[in-house]
Amino acid sequence: MSSDSLPKDSAPSKAPDMATLGKPNVPPRVSADTVRAYIMAHPEIVADDIELLGTIIPDAYTADGAAFDMQRFAIDRLKAQTDELIRQRDRAMNALRVNAAVNARMQTAVLAILEARNFEEMIRMVTSRLAGILAVDRIQMCVEETHEGMIDNLTEAEKLGVRIVPECGVDAMLDEGGNTLLEDDTHGPAMLFGPSGRELRSYALVRLAISPIAPPGLLALGSLDPHTFEPRQGTDQLEFLARVIERQVRAWLGLPEA
């Protein structure tokens, strides 16, 4: 026999896994689907085990600790499931109705802005009539007080209802680089809505980036209802409205694109 070979029973055994030394054997986790599939394939396990049935079925369906009213149990389970499906359907239908109403109001608002016959009428539409169309209590268009390359047209816009806010006020409200902010159960900032802002209980802010030579702006919407605007709401409709306003201002004033 060659000295380079060893009998099989003399071969070195595989080294133990150091990571498992000293640890108890943990059985693998069994998924709920595996358990269900096994019980469905072997229903006699549950049917023949009174103690197991008593654990699965609530006490309300037992009589003398032994007999089970399976029919009533099954009917009540189906009724509960049906009731939950009805609630889910109602929530979905209500959400669809709300979304449809919001879409319709937003379309009306955009058309009203597009139909303005001059710059002043368009600004007045945003700052006065748009609130009623969108079913909110206040809408304020704001621009910063100073900005490199600022144009006279927008500084004069304060006479039309545009609110002038301090320089860097837009970034202060939205954080630098932010585009939207929705707040609920609070008060409207006085810098944007004036003293009457305390009457508002929720508000939404959208950045207006009109042009490189125009001051940064904000579109601020406020409501007396604390839950009209909430942080978890989508902002796509409000951002679309802001983009329409930006384009109209640029068109009326002959400004370059942002």
Q: How confident is the model at residue 2 (pLDDT cuts 50, 70, 90)?
A: very low
pLDDT at 108: 95
Cβ 239 vs Cβ 206: under 8 Å: yes
Q: Model confidence at 147, in pLDDT bands (50, 70, 90)? A: low
Please give the residue that has the higher pLDDT: either 59 or 114: 114
Residue 7 pLDDT class (50, 70, 90 cuts)? very low
- Kindly tell me if the per-residue pLDDT of 149 is higher than 50: no
* 50-54, 101-105, 192-196, 230-234: least confidently modelled range: 50-54
Q: How far is CA 67 from CA 53, 59, 162, in A?
A: 10, 11, 76
Where does the pLDDT of residue 168 fall: very low under 50, low under 70, confident under 90, or very high at 90 and above?
Answer: confident
**Does 123 have pLDDT greater than 60?**
yes
Backbone angles phi, psi at 58, to 5 degrees: -60, 155
What pLDDT is recorded for position 75?
A: 76
User: Which of 86, 78, 198, 197 minimizes the C-alpha distance to 142?
Assistant: 197
| Domains of the chain with bracketed CATH | 118-253 (3.30.450.40)
Instruction: Work out the percent of the chain whose per-residue pLDDT is above 70.
Output: 73
Given a cut of 60, whether residue 8 has pLDDT beyond it is: no
Q: Is the dihedral of CA 206, 212, 216, 222 positive or negative?
A: negative
- Host H or E run for residue 208: strand 202-208
| Selected residue with higher pLDDT from 199 and 153 | 199
70-84, 166-180, 221-235: which has the minimum mean pLDDT? 70-84
Selected residue with higher pLDDT from 220 and 65: 220
Q: Is 162 exposed, middle or buried (0-12, 13-18, 19+ CB in 10 A)?
A: buried
What is the per-residue DSSP string for 245-256? HHHHHHHHHTPP
Phi, psi (degrees; rounded to nearest 5) at 222 = -125, 150
DSSP for residue 197: G
- What pTM value is reported for the model? 0.65
Rounded Cα distance between 62 and 53, Å, is: 10
- Strand order of the β-sheet with 180-183 is 163-165, 138-144, 217-223, 202-208, 180-183
Residue 170: CB partners within 8 Å, gap ≥ 6? 142, 144, 207, 216, 217, 218
Q: What is the mean pLDDT of residues 111-117?
A: 94
Opening angle at CA 113, ends 107 and 118, nearest 5 = 160
Instruction: Give the pLDDT of residue 110.
Output: 95
- Report pLDDT digits (tens) over 41-95: 887 776 666 666 666 666 555 555 545 566 676 677 788 889 889 999 988 888 7
